[in-house]
Structure 1
Amino acid sequence: MAAPVEFWFDFYSPYGYLASLQIDEIAARHGRATVWRPFLLGPIFQRQGLAPLVEIPLLGDYARHDFARSARLIGAPFRLPSAFPKAGLAPARAFYWLAERDEAKARALARAVFRAVFVEDRDGADPAVVAELAAPLGIERDELLAAVARPEIKERVKAATAEAMARGVCGSPFFFVDGEPFWGNDRLWQVERWLETGGW
């Protein structure tokens, strides 16, 4: 089988949210699976000497406009969180912990967190909120809260972020298709063309 499409994202990335609504379907149209890989943008921004997009003069105003416009284009609900940006440590830790047990539930939780953050304006960085979102998936609240506090789970997110940086991931979302890197929700059409043609 062909290698899966890697989808790297930060839970507080608006474009990561929009990509999460599309990438599985795009990959499936071409007989590919996907691998979801949350990481933290903060350390990558620091390494590049960058501020979060919305905090950059001029570009920040444009980005706010483009987030909403990009969401309308695909018919997705969107609301920029009132507290933004934040570090999505808790959901990333919960994802990796849950993925070791049940990949489908981990993705379902990721989607629930994205919706909570970018549609419902809830605090997806709060472990208690993540635990609440996991409850409908049959995940015990106390078990999840204990898991996200474990050193090995914390290290898992650090390692994922370090791997992302080492592989040249410079923003969210970021995709690898057969090793070829693509950065940004606006590159999804290129991802699909690459899958169609095998590259150029």
Structure 2
Amino acid sequence: MSKTVEFYFDVGSPTTYLAYTQLPGICEQTGSQLIYKPMLLGGVFKATGNASPAMIPAKGRYMFQDLDRYAGRYGVPLKINPHFPINTLMLMRAVTGVQLRHPERFKTFIDCLFTALWVEGKNLNDPATVAAVLMQNGFDPNQVLALTADEEVKAALKDNTDKAIQRGVFGAPSMFVGDQLFFGQDRLDFVIEALS
């Protein structure tokens, strides 16, 4: 059986962005398949009683410093979004919709969202900004908006989120290698060990 990493993610998490920049290379180097599992982090927080570390001022300050350290270690750009936290319900429905209906454009789609949020610091709480980002990246905002209203897409995102919670997920990023859960972009060395 081929090795896989199931990557439960929400684009609104800066730690998830960092993991996202590293996982394709990890999977390539270990001969593993990366399986993207969009979920709604707000739904996970609500179900598990968890919250963003940024909601605790001292922890939030530390977390943002630590994220800068990891971005430096990974050699990737990171700008803490001044509009954080972002309500990602519509974004994650769009991500799920593109994955379901246009899988060939999925990677390009999540690339543009992660870049807008965590490299360019754009306000993706604002529909006009989201539309501009989509157009700049070759997506029709009206088609994407239609996906967010698609009942099958809504159900798929809810199902992914429910399954994540059932499997013990309490935050993002969460990665599974087999039945082993690894939480956080600072646990990627354990993901590599599990795949090796």
TM-score by length of 1: 0.88
In structure 1, the partner of 2:60 is 60
Which segment drifts farther, 124-133 or 185-194? Answer: 124-133
Structure 1 segment 77-92 matched on structure 2, within 5 A = 77-92=77-92
**1:87 CA displacement:** 2.2
In structure 2, the partner of 1:185 is 185
C-alpha contact 2:97 2:148 (8 A) present in aligned 1: yes
In structure 1, the partner of 2:36 is 36
Structure 1 segment 165-176 matched on structure 2, within 5 A = 165-176=165-176
Label 1:21 to 1:92 Cα distance change in 2 as closer, same or farther (>3 A).
same
CA RMSD of aligned residues (A): 1.9
SS at match of 2:8: strand
Task: Give structure 1 stretches of 5+ with no counterpart.
Answer: none
Query: Paired residues, what number?
Result: 196
Structure 1 segment 118-133 matched on structure 2, within 5 A = 118-133=118-133
Which segment drifts farther, 178-187 or 127-136? Answer: 127-136
C-alpha contact 1:9 1:39 (8 A) present in aligned 2: yes
Task: Give structure 2 stretches of 5+ with no counterpart.
Answer: none
* CA displacement, residues 93-146 of structure 1 (integer Å, 9 cap, x when unaligned): 112111123324112211110110011111234455444444466533221112
Q: Which letter does structure 2 place at the counterpart of 1:101?
A: R
Question: What's the % identity of the aligned pairs?
Answer: 35
C-alpha contact 2:27 2:33 (8 A) present in aligned 1: yes
Higher relative contact order (CA 8 A, sep 6+): 2
In structure 1, the partner of 2:19 is 19
TM-score by length of 2: 0.90
**1:71 CA displacement:** 1.0
In structure 1, the partner of 2:141 is 141
Partners in 1 of 2:100 and 2:129 — Cα distance? 21
**1:47 CA displacement:** 3.0
**1:184 CA displacement:** 0.8
Structure 1: which 4+ aligned runs deviate by more than 6 Å? none
